[in-house]
């Protein structure tokens, strides 16, 4: 039976309407950023346990039927899964889905940008923690900045807009580059978003301990060099945006710890194995793969999604329960 007291949309017990799904298509990645994947990590999901493209379209169809209007393809690194443009086309065709976007490290974007754009992906969030080749290689476990830059420019040429550059802010690691990265974004019409480290899994907890930066402090430093004016930007994400005065350049600050944004959280995450994560910083989850493999219809899936959203907690508890969050970021979906 469908729980009473819920509307046709996905609304949790705290009155938050869920209209944004972050969909992981793989937990694999071709880079090894230290805050995301622990050194030597091998606990990846077996391909047999990945949701198939058909299963993904079915479950996303149920989300869309319940009012979800934004879907972001994530990973791991989503571009390492073969046939991603085919999946994107299937999702873009769902009636009622208004916004299909992608998060990527752009290592493989040069070849895939045009097919993905033709398939219906329109917005891009890309990861870029340094503009210095040697530092970039060190941070990513051997990644080549030139390859990433070629992918970024291919995405720009393909027509993705807006393009948001996500930079994890790390004390003593890349904080000296923030003005440089902001200038790069301004030169290309991109938006910069600085992100605080989060204590997810062993890697995340180590990064939190060693490199955490309060972004309010960072904003104050940048304010000394740039006149930052509070601003807004569409997209359904958690960033607090500012615009550089007399320009169209925006910078966003994502602050899950120093200024949490749980009261406005409008999103859930679906792992590649079909696990629905109700909160990034809690362990609440529901397994949807058994329902999909049993042939559940869209209406049956919708009933389970309504019930699942009732489990979404009021806020994360990174401060109190970090040790319980054994899953790494790559296993959760960005």
**pLDDT tens per residue, range 229-264:** 999 887 657 889 999 999 999 999 998 776 666 888
Tell me what the pLDDT averaged over the chain comes to: 89
Please report the pLDDT score of residue 77 as a whole number.
97
- Report whether 120 contacts 84 (CB < 8 A): no
Helix (H, G, I), strand (E, B) or coil at 187: helix
Q: What is the mean pLDDT of residues 100-107?
A: 98
Please report the pLDDT score of residue 3 as a whole number.
36
Higher-confidence residue of 297 and 320: namely 297
**Which sequence spans correspond to the domains of the chain?**
10-332
Percent of all residues in the chain with a pLDDT value above 70, rounded to a whole number: 88
Residue 24 DSSP class: E
Please report the pLDDT score of residue 201 as a whole number.
64
Cis peptide leading into residue 244 (ω within 30°): no
Band the pLDDT of 2: cuts 50, 70, 90: very low
Does the pTM exceed 0.85? yes
Instruction: Compute and round to an integer the Cα radius of gyration of the chain.
Output: 19
pLDDT at 194 over 60: yes
Which among 91, 80, 73, 86 has a CA at the least distance from the CA of 44?
Answer: 80
Band the pLDDT of 108: cuts 50, 70, 90: very high
Q: What is the mean pLDDT of residues 85-109?
A: 98
Give CA–CA dist 243/249, Å, rounded. 6
Token pair for residue 36? 């995301």
CA distances from 262 to 65, 156, 195, 255, 324 (A): 24, 32, 15, 11, 19
Helix (H, G, I), strand (E, B) or coil at 69: coil
- Report whether 170 contacts 213 (CB < 8 A): yes
Q: Tell me how crowded residue 161 is: count the other CB atoms within 10 A of its CB.
A: 12
Please report the pLDDT score of residue 283 as a whole number.
77
The superfamily in CATH containing domain 10-332 is Aldolase class I (3.20.20.70)
Please report the pLDDT score of residue 16 as a whole number.
93
| E runs forming strands in the chain | 10-11, 17-18, 20-24, 70-74, 99-104, 123-127, 163-169, 191-196, 228-231, 240-244, 250-254, 267-270, 275-277, 285-287
Beta bridge partners, 73, equal: 23, 102
Band the pLDDT of 306: cuts 50, 70, 90: very high
Give CA–CA dist 284/309, Å, rounded. 10
Percent of all residues in the chain with a pLDDT value above 90, rounded to a whole number: 74
Residue-wise burial string across 126-152, b where 16 or more C-beta atoms lie within 10 A, e elsewhere: bbbbbbeeebbeebbeebebeebbbbb
Beta pairing, strands 285-287 & 20-24: unpaired
List, for residues 140-193, the tens digit of each pLDDT value: 999 999 999 999 999 999 999 999 999 999 999 999 999 999 999 999 999 999
Higher-confidence residue of 334 and 16: namely 16
Give CA–CA dist 313/14, Å, rounded. 9
Which among 133, 130, 59 has a CA at the least distance from the CA of 91?
Answer: 59
Which among 152, 157, 163 has a CA at the least distance from the CA of 233?
Answer: 163
Let me know if 223 is exposed, middle or buried by CB neighbors in 10 A (0-12, 13-18, 19+).
exposed
Q: What is the mean pLDDT of residues 292-312?
A: 95
List, for residues 34-92, the tens digit of each pLDDT value: 888 877 778 789 999 999 999 999 999 999 999 999 999 999 999 999 999 999 999 99
Which among 125, 207, 203 has a CA at the least distance from the CA of 169?
Answer: 207
Please report the pLDDT score of residue 5 as a whole number.
36
């Amino acid at each position: 039976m469908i729980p009473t007291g819920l509307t046709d949309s996905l609304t949790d017990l705290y009155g938050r309407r869920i209209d944004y799904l972050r969909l992981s298509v793989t937990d694999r990645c071709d880079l090894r950023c230290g805050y995301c994947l622990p050194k030597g990590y091998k606990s990846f999901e077996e391909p047999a346990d990945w949701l198939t493209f058909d299963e993904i379209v079915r479950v996303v169809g149920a989300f869309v039927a319940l009012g979800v209007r934004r879907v972001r393809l994530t990973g791991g690194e989503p571009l390492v899964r073969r046939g991603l443009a085919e999946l994107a086309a299937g999702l873009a065709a769902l009636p009622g889905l208004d916004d299909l976007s992608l998060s990527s490290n752009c290592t493989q974007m040069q070849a895939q940008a045009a097919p993905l754009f033709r398939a219906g992906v329109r917005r891009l969030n890309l990861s870029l923690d340094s503009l210095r080749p040697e530092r970039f290689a060190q941070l990513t476990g051997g990644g080549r900045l030139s390859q990433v830059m070629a992918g970024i420019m291919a995405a720009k040429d393909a027509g993705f807009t807006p393009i948001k550059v996500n930079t994890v802010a790390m004390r003593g690691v890349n904080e000296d580059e923030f003005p440089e990265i902001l200038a790069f974004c301004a030169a290309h019409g991109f938006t910069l978003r600085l992100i605080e480290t989060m204590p997810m899994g062993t890697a995340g907890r180590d990064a939190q301990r060693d490199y955490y930066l309060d972004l309010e402090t960072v904003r104050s430093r940048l304010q000394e060099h740039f006149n930052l004016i509070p601003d807004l930007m569409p997209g359904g994400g958690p960033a607090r945006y500012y615009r550089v005065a007399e320009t169209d350049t925006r910078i966003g600050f994502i602050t899950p710890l120093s200024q949490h944004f749980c009261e406005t959280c409008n999103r859930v995450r679906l792992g590649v194995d079909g696990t629905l994560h109700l909160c990034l910083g809690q362990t609440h989850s529901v397994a949807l793969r058994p329902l999909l493999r049993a042939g559940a219809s869209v209406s049956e899936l919708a009933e389970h999604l309504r019930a699942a959203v009732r489990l979404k907690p009021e806020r994360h508890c990174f401060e109190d329960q970090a040790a319980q969050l054994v899953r790494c970021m790559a296993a959760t979906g960005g």
